[in-house]
Chain A
Amino acid sequence: MLKEYLTVKEIVGPLILLEGVEGAKYNELVEVEFPDGSVGLGNVLEVEEDLVLLQSFEATSGLDIARTKVRFTGRGLELPVSRDILGRVFDGLGRPIDNGPRIIPDKRLDINGNPINPYARDFPTDFIQTGISAIDGLNPLVRGQKLPIFSGAGLPHSRLAAQIARQAGVLGAEEEFAVIFAAMGITFEEADFFIQEFRSTAAIERAVLFINLADDPAIERIATPRMALTAAEYLAFDLDMHVLVILIDMTYYCEALREISAARKEVPGRRGYPGYLYTDLATIYERAGRIKEAKGSITQIPVLSMPDDDKTHPIPDLTGYITEGQIILSRDLHRRGIYPPIDVLPSLSRLKEKGIGPGKTREDHSPLSNQLFSAYARGKEAKELAVILGEAALSEEDRLFVQFSEAFEDRFIRQGEYEDRSIEETLTIGWELLRILPRSELKRVKEEHIKKYMKT
């Protein structure tokens, strides 16, 4: 029996204050019945005596104080799950929006989940081949990692994320895998791009989509990534699948969080974001990983747009402190027509050393990537110098490095959106590029590898 109240006292933005309530619980799910009869969802943010503060996941326009009804459900926000969620499209609160049948749940899971016991975790070590050289060769992704894409407005992060989702696979492994896609606050066109993308490649069969668009209620976004990750945990640890979760765009999620925080008049941290933003983001990102003795895994690729391409903005900053590296997109490369415009120097994969090398990719992978890194860094530095002092000021060697860095961008980083390079191909291109440089400058690769892999 649901308890129903008509005692709304205040409505402020997305917040509703209710009085005279008995037995309300913190974080309890509520149903809010609008005067026009439609029903939205919300949850309890705070209870004090008989006062209850709710956040409404629905926009509060149309609510009034006299006729709005609130029903307490006695449980938290849950996601009904079963194997049938594969291939389905849901809204940001986990309700089907693809005109398909209702999900007959195998079980209902609280979307907040529980933290994985650090002792139960297994370290991510399996290399995932994304078919993209700038990632596989230099900043490789491993199973169970959380590796965000830091992007900016107008950069092709959607295409890159879709390409990763399309091509990602583990070398020599035939295992069940799934892609979970959570859209938060992105436009219809962007979301439609992904849906068409999944449909055209039949990938939709093994995908689950949660869609909250830009014009959907902002507060709903707070639940969306948790819905997605709850589904991911079910598929990974109950059904033994390897799950790739794409969360796009985390910036809008954080803004929704800020909206609630501001409405509650909380003391703001940096740039108006709440002081608990780090903790809140961690409860999302830390839901990636592997568990000892479990067959499945969760790999996360959150995408966020850096306001004004600023890496020190609180959202990318706090994200970088939690995730295991970052892939940064460069406006400069994009302007020069290079796809994918991955800025490899500030990009980083913290788990790389554990995922590559003999038996995993190839023995020369790690030294080769170090050599490419340092040669590219040197080439770019020399290029900057040339801008100030003129080409003529460069030494013969530096000129070769400049030539290398240009070729590197053109042949290594640049690739087709549908080009799926094997790791062998990626490494081969790397070796070919090193031929531009004098042998004596190749200090980071071993002589035996040069003999074996560099075709002369």
Chain B
Amino acid sequence: MEAGVVVKVSGPLVVARDLPDPKMYDLVKVGKDRLMGEIIELRGNLASIQVYEETAGLGPGDEVISTGEPLSVELGPGLLTSIYDGVQRPLDVIRAKYGNYVTRGVEEPGLSRERRWAFTPAVKVGEEVGPGDVLGTVPETKVVTHRIMVPVGVEGKVSEVKEGEFTVEDVVAVVETPRGEVPVTMMQRWPVRRPRLYAEKLAPYEPLVTGQRIVDTFFPISKGGTACVPGPFGSGKTVLQHAIAKWANAQIVVFVGCGERGNEMTDVLLEFPELTDPYSGEPLMLRTVLIANTSNMPVAAREASVYTGITIAEYYRDMGYHVALQADSTSRWAEALREISGRLEEMPGEEGYPAYLGTRLAAFYERAGRVVCLGGDRREGSVSAIGSVSPPGGDLSEPVTQATLRVVKVFWGLEDRLAFARHFPAINWLNSYSLYLDKVQDFWRQEVEPAYAELREEAMGILQREAELQEVVRLIGIEALSDQERLIMETAKSLREDFLQQNAFDDADAFTSLRKQYRLLRLIMTYHHLASRELEKGRPIEELIDLPVQEEIARAKFIPEEELERFDRLEEKVAEQLAGQAMEVRA
């Protein structure tokens, strides 16, 4: 094979000369260790390459070989429960073979070549098939059936189809196309930077239920939607991301640890096999793919990791699944982009970030969405993308946060002030927003409760009113408020403490179904409505607060999902105690 030669090495950037037939984003192997890299710039006979591994020891004269193919991932059974680095190398296999450290030049395929999978055909010989049609199924894990699809570009008549146990490289079907016979295996390859194809994009409708009350009720994300979670360090971004990965009603979760702490990935790795999915009753790991490119791993591979993640997510979407993709943190991805851009000596935009930061971010989030998949059955699938953002110093005006806000539809703003007060999740309810609210409220009306949306509006109004009243209290004191205003303060406190606050580490509180969220909200608002009516009758506020039932409201979040009828009794109690006091006064 002809090879180019290295002429320049500067950190993760290598420039090679005379590479035969170079194309942008082709994968190359650099030096005697065969380090993986990607062509990111071409000038005359020079190719700039970002290398996914530590480049120490490389120098001019070292050989560079092009594979002639773009960076691609292997897609097929075996992705679930795996943990990969940013370029889809299986970290568990690497540890078993090479020890505790990630060494250089390691080549391991993303999917095991030895493992055999039970393939059951879904088509018969002679059937006409096109791209996306399901040829057969494989029980990948206890909870996920993997659909083996006809690859893009293949169309024709099935001339052979097998049944039994195969490896991902074995041919399971043959399709006779106008251009000849095409053997199909259970594994496909797909370039990570190219979005996978679908038939049609749809508007979002159904919410992605995360079990987090402030998210689902106040700032919901829809299946196929996009959201961002910005916040300074210590405000609980990762805890929130983990909670969503655990409890979201997605069928598949792809979690990308992008330039973050190693121990956090360890936490996920140790915890997910132990935790039970509330929907299937099986370990959460069985529906999860992890991509871990921690902060100390090579920076170029970090840049690739979000693409690797979203390509895997799209692949499961194409099977007709609802997938949640989570990237923690996109700021580290943007920093990787900045570092490479700096080495290329590109003209910097804001704060040294390249001028194309916004375009790249937008292109990434646009790969989310609800779609009609390829294939004759017009099945539906979705990818929801949730990215954390780590703004320096918590300053939301910085470029990554701003570029992200332009494209995502949901903003959960985390605040350290709330975190210091141990209010978790520390999402600020005043500045967060969701543009899916209208759509999701339609869904609530039909599937949960017609009154849900109004109740939410009212609660939100009370929280906003509280913020204004607090100003008054701070300046003049609580005495300055009217009784109705003091009731608003009381209800708002209850909304904050008994509804918005949620303990991710408490077994009963970590997940709340939509039904229970509605009942809890209605309970608090029932108190508010009835107390407000009593005030109108002329009773003083002092009689309506510090009721014993309010302590029960505070504990209502711990009511198990199976015992929601207990809310009926609680609402009665609220009415009794508010009225009961009234009777005492009259007597």
Residues in A lying within 8 Å of B, measured CB to CB? 23-28, 45-50, 76, 110, 112-124, 144, 237, 266-270, 275-276, 278-279, 282-283, 285-287, 289, 291-292, 294, 311-314, 317-318, 320-322, 324-326, 345-346, 348, 350-351, 353, 370, 373-374, 377, 389, 393
**Are B352 and A121 neighbours in the complex by a CB distance under 8 Å?**
no
**Are B296 and A283 neighbours in the complex by a CB distance under 8 Å?**
yes
A430 to chain B, nearest CB (A): 17
- Identify B420's interface contact among A50, A116, A282, A345, CB under 8 A: A345
CB of B8 closer than 8 Å to a CB of A? yes
A112/B54 contact (C-beta < 8 A), A26-B59, A322-B295 known = yes
CB of B7 closer than 8 Å to a CB of A? yes
**Are B9 and A276 neighbours in the complex by a CB distance under 8 Å?**
no
- Identify A76's interface contact among B57, B94, B261, CB under 8 A: B57
Which residues of A lie under 8 Å from residue B472 when comparing CB positions? none
A49/B60 contact (C-beta < 8 A), A267-B348, A291-B100, A318-B392 known = yes
- Identify B57's interface contact among A26, A266, A326, A353, CB under 8 A: A26
A26 and B332 CA atoms in complex are apart in Å by 25
**Are A270 and B392 neighbours in the complex by a CB distance under 8 Å?**
yes
- Identify B394's interface contact among A28, A76, A120, A312, CB under 8 A: A312
CB of B263 closer than 8 Å to a CB of A? yes
Excluding A28-B57, A118-B265, A317-B233, 20 further A-B contacts by CB distance (< 8 Å) are A23-B59, A26-B56, A46-B9, A50-B60, A113-B101, A115-B101, A116-B102, A118-B91, A119-B83, A120-B99, A120-B101, A121-B266, A267-B352, A285-B296, A286-B262, A286-B295, A294-B100, A311-B393, A317-B232, A321-B390
B35 to chain A, nearest CB (A): 11
B444 to chain A, nearest CB (A): 33
Which residues of A lie under 8 Å from residue B477 when comparing CB positions? 389, 393
Which residues of B lie under 8 Å from residue A116 when comparing CB positions? 100-102, 262, 296
CB proximity to A under 8 Å, residues B76-103: 83, 91-92, 94-95, 99-103
**Are B8 and A46 neighbours in the complex by a CB distance under 8 Å?**
yes
CB of B285 closer than 8 Å to a CB of A? no
A348 and B352 CA atoms in complex are apart in Å by 31
A324/B261 contact (C-beta < 8 A), A118-B294, A269-B352, A283-B296 known = yes
A119/B91 contact (C-beta < 8 A), A266-B342, A322-B261 known = yes
A276/B299 contact (C-beta < 8 A), A118-B269, A119-B95, A270-B392 known = yes
**Are A286 and B294 neighbours in the complex by a CB distance under 8 Å?**
yes
A47/B9 contact (C-beta < 8 A), A25-B59, A122-B266, A267-B352 known = yes
CB of B15 closer than 8 Å to a CB of A? yes
Which residues of B lie under 8 Å from residue A292 when comparing CB positions? 100
Which residues of B lie under 8 Å from residue A50 when comparing CB positions? 60
24 inter-chain pairs at a CB distance below 8 angstroms, sorted by A residue, are: A23-B60, A25-B59, A27-B57, A28-B59, A48-B8, A48-B60, A76-B57, A113-B101, A114-B103, A115-B101, A115-B297, A118-B91, A118-B265, A121-B265, A276-B335, A278-B332, A279-B259, A286-B294, A312-B394, A312-B395, A314-B392, A317-B393, A326-B234, A351-B263
**Are A118 and B262 neighbours in the complex by a CB distance under 8 Å?**
yes
Which residues of A lie under 8 Å from residue B59 when comparing CB positions? 23-26, 28, 47
**Are A289 and B56 neighbours in the complex by a CB distance under 8 Å?**
no
**Are A121 and B262 neighbours in the complex by a CB distance under 8 Å?**
yes
A321/B233 contact (C-beta < 8 A), A27-B57, A117-B101, A118-B269 known = yes
**Are A275 and B352 neighbours in the complex by a CB distance under 8 Å?**
yes
Which residues of B lie under 8 Å from residue A237 when comparing CB positions? 100
**Are B352 and A279 neighbours in the complex by a CB distance under 8 Å?**
no
Interface size on B, residues (CB 8 A): 63
A291 and B233 CA atoms in complex are apart in Å by 25
A64 and B409 CA atoms in complex are apart in Å by 60
**Are B55 and A119 neighbours in the complex by a CB distance under 8 Å?**
no
CB of B317 closer than 8 Å to a CB of A? no
CB of B448 closer than 8 Å to a CB of A? no
Which residues of B lie under 8 Å from residue A389 when comparing CB positions? 477
**Are A27 and B55 neighbours in the complex by a CB distance under 8 Å?**
yes
- Identify A370's interface contact among B99, B295, B339, B422, CB under 8 A: B422
CB proximity to A under 8 Å, residues B344-377: 348, 351-352
**Are B8 and A49 neighbours in the complex by a CB distance under 8 Å?**
yes
CB proximity to A under 8 Å, residues B289-307: 292, 294-297, 299
**Are A353 and B505 neighbours in the complex by a CB distance under 8 Å?**
yes
Which residues of A lie under 8 Å from residue B94 when comparing CB positions? 117, 119
- Identify A27's interface contact among B56, B101, B103, B348, CB under 8 A: B56
Which residues of A lie under 8 Å from residue B11 when comparing CB positions? 26, 46, 276
A114/B101 contact (C-beta < 8 A), A119-B92, A123-B270 known = yes
Q: Top 3 nearest A-B pairs by Cβ distance?
A: A312-B393, A282-B295, A27-B56
**Are B7 and A117 neighbours in the complex by a CB distance under 8 Å?**
no
A165 to chain B, nearest CB (A): 22
A208 to chain B, nearest CB (A): 21
A126 and B10 CA atoms in complex are apart in Å by 41
Which residues of A lie under 8 Å from residue B292 when comparing CB positions? 118-119
A268 to chain B, nearest CB (A): 7
**Are B339 and A275 neighbours in the complex by a CB distance under 8 Å?**
yes
A278 and B335 CA atoms in complex are apart in Å by 8
A338 to chain B, nearest CB (A): 20
**Are B262 and A289 neighbours in the complex by a CB distance under 8 Å?**
yes
Which residues of B lie under 8 Å from residue A278 when comparing CB positions? 259, 295, 332, 335
Which residues of A lie under 8 Å from residue B58 when comparing CB positions? 25-26
CB of B522 closer than 8 Å to a CB of A? no
Over the window 265-301 of chain B, the binary record of Cβ atoms lying under 8 Å from chain A Cβ atoms (1 yes, 0 no) is 1110110000000000000000000001011110100
**Are B263 and A123 neighbours in the complex by a CB distance under 8 Å?**
yes
Which of chain B's residues has its CB closest to A110's CB? B56
Which residues of B lie under 8 Å from residue A291 when comparing CB positions? 100
- Identify A47's interface contact among B60, B232, B262, CB under 8 A: B60
**Are B335 and A275 neighbours in the complex by a CB distance under 8 Å?**
yes
A286/B338 contact (C-beta < 8 A), A47-B8, A312-B394 known = no
A318 and B270 CA atoms in complex are apart in Å by 27
A286 and B266 CA atoms in complex are apart in Å by 13
Which residues of A lie under 8 Å from residue B232 when comparing CB positions? 317, 320
Which residues of A lie under 8 Å from residue B297 when comparing CB positions? 115
**Are A324 and B263 neighbours in the complex by a CB distance under 8 Å?**
yes
- Identify B342's interface contact among A27, A275, A286, A346, CB under 8 A: A275
CB of B61 closer than 8 Å to a CB of A? yes
A26/B100 contact (C-beta < 8 A), A117-B95, A119-B83, A270-B351 known = no
CB proximity to A under 8 Å, residues B308-337: 332, 335-336
Which residues of A lie under 8 Å from residue B261 when comparing CB positions? 286, 322, 324
CB of B430 closer than 8 Å to a CB of A? no
Which residues of A lie under 8 Å from residue B61 when comparing CB positions? 23
Which of chain A's residues has its CB closest to B101's CB? A114
CB of B587 closer than 8 Å to a CB of A? no
A287/B296 contact (C-beta < 8 A), A117-B95, A322-B261 known = yes
A109 to chain B, nearest CB (A): 11
CB of B421 closer than 8 Å to a CB of A? yes
- Identify B100's interface contact among A45, A117, A269, CB under 8 A: A117
A73 and B225 CA atoms in complex are apart in Å by 55
A228 to chain B, nearest CB (A): 16
Which residues of A lie under 8 Å from residue B7 when comparing CB positions? 48-49
A377/B263 contact (C-beta < 8 A), A47-B60, A312-B394 known = no
A321 and B393 CA atoms in complex are apart in Å by 10
A180 and B56 CA atoms in complex are apart in Å by 26
- Identify B339's interface contact among A123, A279, A289, A377, CB under 8 A: A279
Which residues of A lie under 8 Å from residue B294 when comparing CB positions? 115, 118, 282, 286
**Are B15 and A48 neighbours in the complex by a CB distance under 8 Å?**
yes
Which residues of A lie under 8 Å from residue B296 when comparing CB positions? 115-116, 279, 282-283, 285-287
A283 and B302 CA atoms in complex are apart in Å by 14
A350 to chain B, nearest CB (A): 8
A289 and B264 CA atoms in complex are apart in Å by 11
Which residues of A lie under 8 Å from residue B8 when comparing CB positions? 46-49
Which residues of B lie under 8 Å from residue A370 when comparing CB positions? 422
Which of chain A's residues has its CB closest to B98's CB? A117
